Structure 1
Amino acid sequence: MKIGVIIVFHNNEKDIDTGFFNEHLNQAKNLELCLVNNASRDNTFQLLKEIKDSCSTNVSLVDIKKFKSDISAVRSGARFMFNQFDLNHIGYISTNLINHKSYSISSLIKAMSKNQNIILKYNISVLEKKEIKQTLFQSVFSIIEYLEKLKINNQLVNL
């Protein structure tokens, strides 16, 4: 079962290592990635385009022309993924949260690709505990939050 992952970028040119992304994203067979450029004024969009062009078919790119809040950018990515793919689980990573929590994009990509099955099982258990069935946008989850909870419970391979 594939997991959809939305990664929102805004002026992250210096944080993006295209070689690292390509290496790890091509190994992540059960991830469908949507890279969202949130009106970056630097070279971020070009780097994301390089990643999309050099990766296998599991990477999509959404370019937002006018800056939006992180939540709105995630919704744009979720809407795109919902229309393009048949996914039951969609998570997101905001690069703004990465910077505040002192993670690197590279470490999160690595942790995500190594722990796909654990994240998926955790998401299924969270959804089963909810009494009311959620809409698509309500069920989109924060991958950083999940990884932190799984790390606390000693269920992660690496972070």
Structure 2
Amino acid sequence: MKFMDDNLAIVVPCYNEFERLPKDEFISFMKKNTRCKIVFSDDGSKDNTLQLLKEIKESCPQRIFINVLESNGGKAAAVRSGVLYCYKHNLDFDKIAFLDSDLATSLKACVKVSKHIKKI
């Protein structure tokens, strides 16, 4: 059993989040948490969400990824696609999680909980 600071991939499904997504919180978090990766899974947004995600990615291009779905398939489809993206692109992770883009559950809380989950 391993309960250490493993590499964590966090999938964040997004749909028309331009006005709500807390850009600065994601950027600040990624600068402090070098063992984390974030995959934003854009679920066919019609607003400027994709542009905002690209701006966030610029802050940490080696650990922030954008998965773009051509059309809106719903939250579950965006999460599933984001998880598959992690495997398809061989992202280095030991654990995987997903969070809502509004960070109703904080990134910090996600990392804290992940430390209590066994690595398989």
- Using structure 1 for the length normalisation, give the TM-score: 0.63
Runs of 4+ in 1 over 3 A off after TM superposition: none
* 2:83 is the alignment partner of 1:89: no
Pairs within 5 Å for 1:28-39: 28-39=33-44
SS of the residue aligned with 2:45?
coil
Q: Which structure carries more relative contact order (alpha carbon 8 Å, separation 6+)?
A: 2
The alignment-based identity, stated in percent, is 22
Structure 2 equivalent of residue 141 of structure 1: none
Matches within 5 A, 1:1-159: 1-84=6-89, 85-95=91-101, 104-105=102-103, 108-112=106-110, 116=111, 118-124=112-118
More helix by share: 1
Unaligned runs of 5+ residues in structure 1 are: 96-103, 128-159
After TM superposition, give the deviation of residue 20 of structure 1 in Å: 2.9
Aligned pair in 2 of structure 1 residues 107, 121: CA closer, same or farther (>3 Å)?
A: closer
Aligned-residue RMSD, C-alpha: 2.1
Provide the secondary structure at the position in 1 that maps to 2:106: helix
TM-score w.r.t. the length of structure 2 is 0.81
Question: What is the alpha-carbon distance in structure 2 between the residues aligned to residue 68 and residue 36 of structure 1?
Answer: 11
Instruction: Note the alpha carbon deviations across 1:47-85, whole angstroms, 9 max, x for none.
Output: 001101222521111111111121211111111101221
